[in-house]
Amino acid sequence: MIAGEQATTASRISDLTLACPRCRAPLVPDGDDAVRCLVEGDRFPNEDGIWRFLLPEREARFAQFMAEYAAVRRAEGRGDDDPSFYRALPFHDLTGRFVDDWRIRAVSYQALVNRVLPPLETRWRRPLRILDLGAGNCWLSYRLARRGHTVVAVDLLTDLRDGLGAYVHYDAVFTPVQAEFDRLPFADGQADLVIFNASLHYSPDYATTLPEVLRVLGPDGQVVILDSPVYRDARSGEQMLREREADFKRRFGFPSNSLPSEGFLTVARLDSLAAALGLRWRTHEPWYGWHWALRHWKARLRGRREPARFLVITGERAEPLPGGPPVARHSRATRALWRRWLRWRARLLGWDRFDRARLERVAGRDIVVLPGVFNPVLFRTGAYLAKVAESFVPLGGSVLDLGTGSGVGAIVAARRAARVVAVDINPAAVRCAQINAASNGVNDRVEVRQGDLFAPVAGERFDLVLFNPPFYRGTPRDDADRAWRSEDVAERFAAGLAAHLAPGASALVILSSDGDAPGFLRAAASAGLAIEVIAERDLVNEVLRIYRITAPQSSPLSPDGERGPG
């Protein structure tokens, strides 16, 4: 049903129950062309055939972004007055102005239609309930509606030529809704498919936007990311954003960055989001032709940044990983051969010279590893934990990075956290972490302290604790060896963790099958801590697992570690 046909049943549109974007309470009809929240009193009208669910204070926040975006699109000559232009998209650009852009969109759409939709259509054997997020001029909503699906087109812009107002040009039925991604006006668990239509990269924070989408997605639903730029190296994405801002400043007089956004995706960021949100991603790389395929090699030969890839990425809720310690999956002989290969490669590349400083790159950041400091890339655990942990860091929150080593976890956390405390008992590691915090421009948010485990943060609580513990039992030979072995760190960590977690906080701990992971988990369980596996990686010679560990909410602890009343 189109918006104008919803008047008598305004609490539902396109077979979806509405909910207040402010408080999630159900909405009730308020006259012929509006709905109202009985809890907050907000009224949401249907104007010009478009449901308006953008809250007033949020509209003010987006005002400059929307004005600049519309100005750019007008200057570029987007849209047309002829309905046939819209109905021909994405296969034909009848204006001839953006033929290359629409050629890419057409290939992506065909990948969606050929690879993603058929299994869902076969499974449900009914029209799918689809949200088209970042619908723009509604071309995708139109195409999906013509396939017989129930579609809601969601966008901020309502422009007649290049926004939701363009719905009037189509001869298929769908519902245009003005709303923001982070406050969708729908009740929980209803959508079968949510598609980010060249739009996810506009999100200020994927770790906020995706949970909101998962809230409205049904238990067996899927998320699809179309035509957002993907890079292997975050530096290329950052360079792309700088180039784009400079180009916009030159052409339009403003950089078009009034609304902060993540701007691009990387494989590492997707992995981190998958672990944080319990998702399983699948990627489909459409064939855009030889010219497109050779762009990467041409860029390398010319010494330029890597060009973006445009993938069709699907996400669905993953089955929880089974609990327990990590278990090696390969035979002892295979693991031994793989270790020999790793040692041989390390010698060949000079990685076995621990008396030299090394420059590594982790999650888009350059990290110096001083002699006597645990190398997060060579030994893999530090880099893996840092990449996964990024999406768990609350925006503006506080993070404790125990056994920080080179400081890689603290530096990655500082992208999102307002305050990070990094602790290490090794003086060389403290110096190394301080150098890396300064060189990465986060020393205003990262404080490095020397000390043993929780001793340097007595009486302090944090929103997230990161810990890459020593994997082996035993007495360390020197300060550097403390990164590898300890006699009682598992028990002391388990005993002290709850006193340093803020309400609702958790710790992320990485363990290996090549170590005393069972002993660490037993200590945590004996202390009454809840343990959940959130990520796993099989490296052949060992299996790494990352655990989320929380303290019982029913037994709050005072900052001195004593049980609170009740």
Query: Based on the structure, what is the number of domains in the chain?
Result: 2
CB-based burial of residue 51 (10 Å sphere; 0-12 exposed, 13-18 middle, 19+ buried)? Answer: buried
Same domain, 249 and 379: no
Same domain, 341 and 259: no
Range of the domain at 497: 332-550
The tens digit of pLDDT for each residue in 181-229 reads 999 999 999 999 999 999 999 999 999 999 999 999 999 999 999 999 9
Same domain, 103 and 224: yes
The CA distance from 109 to 312, in Å, is 9
Dihedral sign of CA atoms 98, 99, 100, 101 in order: positive
- Minimal CA–CA distance to 316: which of 224, 183, 228, 388? 224
Q: Is residue 238 domain-resident?
A: yes
Same domain, 366 and 343: yes
Q: Is residue 26 domain-resident?
A: no
Q: Is residue 433 domain-resident?
A: yes
pLDDT at residue 56 in the model: 93
Give the count of beta carbons closer than 10 Å to the beta carbon of residue 319. Answer: 7
Cβ-contact 38, 45 below 8 angstroms: no
Same domain, 377 and 284: no
Residue finishing a domain among 317, 341, 376:
317
Q: Is residue 3 domain-resident?
A: no
For position 251, which CATH number holds? 3.40.50.150
Same domain, 346 and 402: yes
The CA distance from 223 to 283, in Å, is 12
Instruction: Provide mean pLDDT across the span 133-161.
Output: 96
Residue 76 has pLDDT above 60, yes or no: yes
Instruction: Provide mean pLDDT across the span 455-477.
Output: 91
Same domain, 313 and 336: no
DSSP 8-state code for residue 84: H
Distance of CA 426 to CAs 88, 171, 402, 466, Å?
Answer: 65, 69, 12, 17
pLDDT at residue 507 in the model: 96
Same domain, 293 and 368: no
Residue 344 has pLDDT above 90, yes or no: no
pLDDT at residue 540 in the model: 79
CB-based burial of residue 24 (10 Å sphere; 0-12 exposed, 13-18 middle, 19+ buried)? Answer: middle
**Residue matched to tokens 């039992």:** 473
Same domain, 237 and 359: no
Cβ-contact 446, 407 below 8 angstroms: yes
Provide the pLDDT confidence category of residue 353 given band limits of 50, 70 and 90.
Answer: low
pLDDT at residue 482 in the model: 78
pLDDT at residue 259 in the model: 86
Average pLDDT of the chain is 88
pLDDT at residue 95 in the model: 93
The CA distance from 376 to 429, in Å, is 12
Cβ-contact 523, 490 below 8 angstroms: yes
Q: Is residue 8 domain-resident?
A: no
Q: Is residue 228 domain-resident?
A: yes
Cβ-contact 180, 57 below 8 angstroms: no
Tokens representing 515 are 């170590």
Same domain, 310 and 365: no
* SS3 at position 149: coil
Tell me which H or E stretch contains 385.
helix 381-389
Residue 560 has pLDDT above 50, yes or no: no
Which residues are CB-contacts of 110 (< 8 A; sequence separation ≥ 6)?
286
Same domain, 265 and 341: no
Residue finishing a domain among 292, 317, 342:
317
Same domain, 254 and 360: no
pLDDT at residue 182 in the model: 96
Residue 447 has pLDDT above 60, yes or no: yes
The CA distance from 5 to 2, in Å, is 6
Residue finishing a domain among 291, 317, 343:
317
Query: What is the chain's Cα-based Rg?
Result: 26
Q: Is residue 561 domain-resident?
A: no
Q: How much is the pTM?
A: 0.82
The tens digit of pLDDT for each residue in 231-261 reads 988 889 999 999 999 999 999 999 988 888 9
pLDDT at residue 329 in the model: 73
Q: Is residue 67 domain-resident?
A: yes
Residue 378 has pLDDT above 80, yes or no: no
pLDDT at residue 34 in the model: 93
Whether omega before 90 lies within 30 degrees of 0, making that bond cis, reads yes
* % of the chain surpassing 70 pLDDT: 93
